[in-house]
Structure 1
Amino acid sequence: MNITLCTLFEGNYHFGVAALSNSLIASGYVGDLWVGYRGPLPAWIVDAPGYEKATGEIQVAPTLRLRLLELDTPLHFTYYKPTFLREMLERHAPEATVVAYVDPDIVVKCDWPSFMGWFTEDGISLVEDVNACFPARHPKRLLWNRFFAPHGATPRRQLERYYNAGFIAVSRQHLDFLDLWRRLCDLVVSHNANARTLKAGGSATLFHSTDQDALNFALTVTEAPLNTAGPEAMDFANGGYYLSHAIGSVKPWHGGHVRQALGGRPPSLASKAYYRFANAPIKVYSDGALAKRRLALAVASLIGRVYRRT
């Protein structure tokens, strides 16, 4: 089985790409990480001695090569995921049998051989979201059925769980699923009349989590086997050991850990995991800056032991 990995970033999410890369190196992954981006590249890439501007490649470790692809799309990257995944299998990595997308605010915590158990050539690999319970006849699912029915998308199976779109692996056998997900994303964009936002309206909005809602409906339309893990697999609950996902608008690299802790929000498991991989072997902070950040994280964690918002 030939596996290739990809991610998407713009702006300060390059800090997350560095940590994700460092975590892959630590896990023992050997291969490429395809990085789609929009806007300027950070100094840790363009100023690196090994950066090849002509090819968009940089060997960040003996085992890991970043392959950079500048993208021109008006869509929020969250809607672009199914298109990017299909391009991986069709154009950029035609030798791959499985392609996995990983958000740049995720790090891999386990060793690569353990992680590889998740991938199969016949299925789709997923992690349950922070709010994973989503019954088959949930009111919103019934509304989705009515919305998508005129567009020829009808559920073929019932699912009881809701999955996060930050990590997904799709085998070449299910290219049609990527087409389905992309088509449903287009319908969601048309419904919300905004292709540049991640969230829409409040929680009761028909499509609040946009591409993720489209993904979860698409999973009921396809009959592909699903290789799934619970929310702990992204550190949404305790006991996980696969991935750590820093969800929300405030990311670990934004800092402000003490201020957030004083406001009742101590550092998350994902923030702590980020700093495990933030600066080696790819270095994005000076030693002094990283030491200050880790000290702030430790102080914030102590504050969180005695005070947190309920």
Structure 2
Amino acid sequence: MNISLCTLFEKNYHYGVAALTNSLIAAGYRGDLWVGYRGELPAWITGAPSFDAGSGRFEVAPGLALRMMFLDTPVHFTYYKPTFIRDLLEKHAPEAAVMAYIDPDIVVKCDWPSFCGWFTDDGISLIEDVNWCFPARHPKRLQWNRFFEPHGIVPKRALERYYNAGFIAVPRAHMDFLDLWRHLCDLVLAHNAGAEKLKIGGGADLFHSTDQDALNFALTVYDAPLNTAGPEAMDFAPGGYYLSHAIGSVKPWHGKHIRQALRGQPPRLAAKAYYQFANAPIKVWDEGDLARRRLELKIAAAIGRVYRSA
């Protein structure tokens, strides 16, 4: 089965793209990583001898190429995922049977043969979120039903889990799911008066996690098989070995590890996983700076062993 991967980034999230790519190289992935971006490309891409500015192709390892795609869209990237995945399947990667989106604050921890077993040509692949338990008749689900029903959108099945939008793999056979997800994102945006943010209001708001809420409602409407793993698959719980997802507004490449630890927020597993893949074989950090950051991470971890916020 031909599997292709994609991600989206802007601003300093290119540090995450480098680590994600390094982790894919270590895993043994061979193929394309389609990278949609806004703004300027970093020097580690534009200055690389193998980067072709005309085509946007950058071969980073034998058989693995970044395919850089400038995106001229005002849409917040968190809402642009279904459009991007659909465009890739339809226009740019016609040979791909499955397109998997991975956020740029994620790294792959397992080998590629273990990971690619997740993908099928008949199912949508997903991972449960950090707050994964979401019963079929949860009050929020009932509110969603009432919101979407006047738009002619009603659930066809009950689900008991809530899935993270940082990773999703969609087979070509279910491209229509991406249209539904995009449509629901538009309705959520309209409800929130066009406020394009990752989080809106508080947990009691109708749509708090915006595109992720839209994704989870879409999964109840579109009746495709789901290939799923628990929250440990993103290091949201112990025992995972697939991915590590650095959720939250402060990313590992932002540093501030000691400051965060002194506030009672020690480094998560994802920060440690990021530094494992941060600088090899693609180098984006000065070695001295990277050594200092890794030392700060160790000190922050030590602080976290004796001090945590409630």
Same-fold call, TM cutoff 0.5 = yes
Instruction: Report deviation, 1:196.
Output: 2.7
SS at match of 1:162: strand
Runs of 4+ deviating beyond 6 Å: none
Mapped to 1, the partners of 2:204 and 2:76 lie a distance apart of: 21
1:281 aligns with 2:288: no
Aligned to 2:92: 92
Matches within 5 A, 1:136-215: 136-215=136-215
Name 1:41's counterpart in structure 2: 41
* Shift in Å, 1:32: 0.6
Provide the rounded CA distance (Å) in 2 between the counterparts of 1:178 and 1:77.
Answer: 15
Check conservation: 1:58, 1:66, Cα contact below 8 A: yes
Give the whole-Å Cα distance in 2 for the aligned partners of 1:150 and 1:43: 49
How many angstroms does 1:201 deviate by? 1.0
C-alpha contact 1:177 1:222 (8 A) present in aligned 2: yes
Aligned Cα root-mean-square deviation (Å): 0.7
Contact 1:74 1:196 in 2 (8 A): no
Counterpart mapping for 1:289-304 below 5 A: 289-304=289-304
- Deviates further, 254-263 or 120-129: 254-263
Within a 5 Å distance, the mapping from 1:228-243 to structure 2 comes to 228-243=228-243
Paired with 1:63 and 1:257, the residues of 2 have a C-alpha distance of 35
Spell out, residue by residue over 1:107-161, the C-alpha distance to the aligned partner (whole angstroms, 9 max, x if none).
0000000001110000000000000000100111001001111111110000000
Deviation of residue 274 (structure 1)? Answer: 0.2
Taking every aligned residue pair, what percent have the same amino acid on both sides?
A: 76
Give the letter for the 2:136 counterpart. A
Q: In the alignment, which residue of structure 1 is the partner of 2:64?
A: 64
Aligned to 1:76: 76
How far is 1:195 from its partner?
Answer: 4.7
CA distance in 2, matches of 1:260, 1:63: 39
Contact 1:127 1:231 in 2 (8 A): yes
Q: Give the whole-Å Cα distance in 1 for the aligned partners of 2:28 and 2:194.
A: 40
- The whole-number CA distance in structure 2 between the counterparts of 1:195 and 1:101 is 23
Give the SS at the match of 2:51.
coil
Aligned-pair distance for 1:64?
1.4
| Alignment of 1:103 onto 2:78 | no
Partner of 2:130: 130
1:147 partner SS: helix
Structure 1 contact 76–195 (Cα < 8 Å) conserved:
no
TM-score (norm: length of structure 2): 0.99
Q: SS of 1:177's equivalent?
A: helix
What is the distance in 2 between the residues matched to 1:27 and 1:47?
Answer: 25
When normalised by structure 1's length, the TM-score is 0.99
Q: Distance in 2 between matches of 1:195 and 1:11?
A: 20
The letter of the residue matching 1:178 is L
3-state secondary structure, aligned to 1:150: helix
Query: Offset of 1:215 from its aligned partner?
Result: 0.2
SS in structure 1 of the partner of residue 44 of structure 2: helix
Q: 1: CA distance between counterparts of 2:197 and 2:234?
A: 23
Whole-Å separation in 1 of the counterparts to 2:93 and 2:260? 42
Unaligned runs of 5+ in 2: none
Q: Secondary structure at the match of 1:12?
A: helix
Q: Distance in 1 between matches of 2:149 and 2:262?
A: 48
After TM superposition, give the deviation of residue 194 of structure 1 in Å.
2.3
**What secondary structure, in the 3-state scheme, does the structure 2 residue paired with 1:79 have?**
helix
Q: 1:236-293: CA deviations, max 9, x gaps?
A: 0110000000000000000011111111111100000000000001000011111101
Q: In the alignment, which residue of structure 2 is the partner of 1:260?
A: 260
Q: Secondary structure at the match of 2:12?
A: helix
* Amino acid paired to 2:218: A
Q: Does 1:271 align with 2:268?
A: no
